[in-house]
Structure 1
Amino acid sequence: MEAPIKSTELKKSCVNCGAEMKYQPGTENISCEYCGHQETIHLDESGFEELELYPYLREMGAQKHGEEISMLQCKNCGATQHIEENYKSLHCVYCSMPLVLEDQFKEEWILPGAVLPFQIDQNKSFQIFQKWVKGLWFAPNKLKKAALDPQFTKGLYLPYWTFDAQLRAKYSGQRGEYYYETKRVRNAQGKTVTKRVRKTRWYPASGQVSGFVDDTLVEASKQRKGRVPAKIARWNLDLLQPFNSSFLRGFVTEKYTIELEKGHLAAKDKAEDIARRWCRQDIGGDTQRISRMDMALSEETFKHILLPVYISSYRFSGKEYNFFVNGENGAISGTRPYSFWKIFFAVLGVLLVVGVIVLVSS
């Protein structure tokens, strides 16, 4: 008996022409790029479901929220990705190396609880990429030519964990309050001058803080290459929608490689930072010292969410470069090559100008 096809594997065909329907960024529609037919994505009105953390940590997802999906792993960079669209030519979104369809394998994952759909389409992301490349100094001509070809600009949903918890922390430390004294000192010229010196009076402090920590965001994938820069890894989580596989149509989805347990440890570190910030605010004064803090988390829940980014990859002189555009707000970042000859002739030009100025002025 064949295994049933899971919900994230289903392809939605156009009722008019039979072509594959794809998600239309910035909307709640899927559309057919051949005949233009559109259908509305019906969202779950019950909203997001927060999953209890510790049952999952004990059972590692062996519950109703787990399912099996087909995956492809890049043999060059190791990225593991699920292709929702039947691309004619399958390439890794990170390094552009070919993927072999016959290498597909089945793997369990914790079903996403929410997705932030793409808000800008591929054409807009490519325009942002082109503008960025045109503004680069000393970029090789081949890079600027590559910016004219959008074939390797792919939309990717990145996996993240989010954690919620009630936080309570007891602390002891000191509150510092500034005061100033005027002293007479000698300056560099040997003259006696008055100088205002800041000092601190310390007072003992202790207490307790508590509150709700909402949506602590922890990355769930870290590949050897192609990591998304922190400067663009900021999304408006208010735009999250209850998970629906229709939002994935036409895009690549990367499976998490940082397991839930490790993600939880990273979230606890972030919770400690939050607790220390709350303790300092509670201590007050001009400056604070925390000598001891005992933190406890309770009612912990989590979600597996997917966040949008566009990736373009480019190879130059045997090296690999990646360019990232945030699929929600259009922020861009990436690594870039430099043209040795452009830099050489620019430096030479500067030296020639300086030489001429020296000759004229002598």
Structure 2
Amino acid sequence: MEDIAPKKSELKRSCVNCGAELLYAPGTTELVCEYCGYQQQIEAPEEGFRELELKPYLDQLGSQSHSEMITMLQCKNCGATQHVEENYKSLHCVYCSMPLIIEDQYREEWILPGAVLPFQINQEKAHQIFKKWVDGLWFAPNNLKKAALDPKHTKGLYSPYWTFDAQLDASYTGQRGDYYYVSVPYTTTVNGKTVTRTRQERRTRWTPASGHISGFVDDTLIKASKQKSGQIPLKIAHWNLQLLKPFNSSYLAGFVTEKYTIPLKDGHLESNKEARRIAERWACRDIGGDTQRVSSINMKLSNETFKHILLPVYVSAYVYKGKRYNFFVNGQSGIISGQRPYSFWKIFFFVLAILAVLTVIVILMQQ
């Protein structure tokens, strides 16, 4: 029989006073008991960030010392995989709000996170941001608030990302463009007479360019999960990675943790595309001039390392008149983005009002 004892990343923390589960308090480095108020400091690991050498993981598909088994539930509707916490026994999928069946839990290996960006705002604050946003929506149905503004629909999620570091070296060929201006004659009519004038037009003088560039590419961020729907919008997907902390599972207490579904190999391929874009920007900067063309670039990456990191986001999913809507709040900055329904009748009467005003204006102008 498979050993399903909890591993170090999913151990429940109990209050020493009353035995209740301790939960992470956003914006702090503490675990807090909701019942008696007991606080416990989260200790920082001595080893710091876990930057893992990339090649061994790619060669052996992650079967390394920094991997372990974790309990997961997969949403049959949207495909998201979520780690089961003790206080989420009646869990609904954070992305699509469909029920997750606790009997469907299974154990799966994952590469341990090397770092985590703890939540800086709590659920109440995220829900206030969400409520203010909904209140400010134009043409929203009147009963939208009843459907959307239940705090239980707003859940904190640690979303998985890969980060890649590498030493980049590249040689390039291209062209340097320098602007210059020439006087071009043209004719125009002034007081019924044709006159000739000149105007300045910009030209570009191109000269061949080549060279070598090198530098360190730090923390290329690649999304590590995908679902059929409910993707985190790019608008909120910006975090200050300087505030990353070495991974400690205490920061996960009270939140849902999503497991990566994009393999490390695929994430690495995506990071190579970003590294090439970075190399092209560096080449343009090295070429100089007013504008540049890069014809070819021969890039090499060395000393490649990676981290599996967890980033905070609040997700709200609800169904309104048979259609599902998602809202997202960045768990660090509080930036919000989401989908919303529109009221046909509000728009209809607004258009009628505009037409009525325009009609009155036309009538007044004709008098």
Tell whether the 8 Å contact from 1:85 to 1:251 is kept in structure 2 after alignment.
no
Secondary structure of the residue that 1:312 maps to in structure 2? strand
- 1:75-90 residue pairs with structure 2 within 5 A? 75-90=76-91
Corresponding position of 2:41? 40
Which one-letter code corresponds to 2:54 in the other structure?
L
Corresponding position of 1:61? 62
Evaluate the alpha carbon distance shift between residue 258 and residue 191 of structure 1 in structure 2; reply closer, same or farther with a 3 A threshold. farther
Q: Distance in 1 between matches of 2:247 and 2:217?
A: 22
Corresponding position of 1:198? 202
User: After superposition, what is the alpha-carbon deviation per residue over 1:250-305, rounded to whole angstroms, capped at 9, x for unaligned?
Assistant: 00000001000000000000000000000011110111111111000000000000
Q: Which moved more, 1:351-360 or 1:234-243?
A: 351-360
- 1:234-253 residue pairs with structure 2 within 5 A? 234-253=238-257
Tell whether the 8 Å contact from 2:157 to 2:312 is kept in structure 1 after alignment.
yes
Q: Distance in 1 between matches of 2:160 and 2:56?
A: 21
Tell whether the 8 Å contact from 1:21 to 1:32 is kept in structure 2 after alignment.
yes
Tell whether the 8 Å contact from 1:85 to 1:249 is kept in structure 2 after alignment.
no
Normalising by structure 2, report the TM-score: 0.96
Tell whether the 8 Å contact from 1:66 to 1:109 is kept in structure 2 after alignment.
yes
Q: Which moved more, 1:40-49 or 1:111-120?
A: 40-49
- 1:122-201 residue pairs with structure 2 within 5 A? 122-187=123-188, 191-201=195-205
Question: How much does 1:87 deviate?
Answer: 2.3
1:224 paired to 2:228: yes
Tell whether the 8 Å contact from 1:85 to 1:252 is kept in structure 2 after alignment.
no
Evaluate the alpha carbon distance shift between residue 4 and residue 149 of structure 1 in structure 2; reply closer, same or farther with a 3 A threshold. closer
Question: How much does 1:351 deviate?
Answer: 1.2
Which one-letter code corresponds to 1:161 in the other structure?
W
Q: Distance in 2 between matches of 1:339 and 1:358?
A: 29
Question: How much does 1:317 deviate?
Answer: 2.2
1:305 paired to 2:306: no
Secondary structure of the residue that 2:88 maps to in structure 1? coil
Q: Distance in 2 between matches of 1:297 and 1:281?
A: 19
How many residue pairs align between the two structures? 362
Note the residue ranges of structure 1 that are not aligned, 5 or more in a row: none
Q: Distance in 1 between matches of 2:141 and 2:220?
A: 40
- 1:336-351 residue pairs with structure 2 within 5 A? 336-351=340-355
Q: Distance in 2 between matches of 1:281 and 1:356?
A: 59
User: After superposition, what is the alpha-carbon deviation per residue over 1:131-150, rounded to whole angstroms, capped at 9, x for unaligned?
Assistant: 11111100112222334321
Corresponding position of 2:361? 357
1:107 paired to 2:108: yes
Question: How much does 1:101 deviate?
Answer: 0.5
Which one-letter code corresponds to 2:328 in the other structure?
F
Tell whether the 8 Å contact from 1:232 to 1:333 is kept in structure 2 after alignment.
yes
State, as a whole percentage, how many aligned pairs show the same letter.
Answer: 67
Tell whether the 8 Å contact from 1:185 to 1:194 is kept in structure 2 after alignment.
yes
Evaluate the alpha carbon distance shift between residue 87 and residue 4 of structure 1 in structure 2; reply closer, same or farther with a 3 A threshold. closer
Corresponding position of 1:267? 271
Which one-letter code corresponds to 2:274 in the other structure?
K
Normalising by structure 1, report the TM-score: 0.97
Corresponding position of 2:213? 209
Question: How much does 1:46 deviate?
Answer: 2.2
Secondary structure of the residue that 1:7 maps to in structure 2? coil
Which one-letter code corresponds to 1:255 in the other structure?
K
Secondary structure of the residue that 1:354 maps to in structure 2? helix
Tell whether the 8 Å contact from 2:147 to 2:319 is kept in structure 1 after alignment.
no
Q: Distance in 2 between matches of 1:169 and 1:138?
A: 53
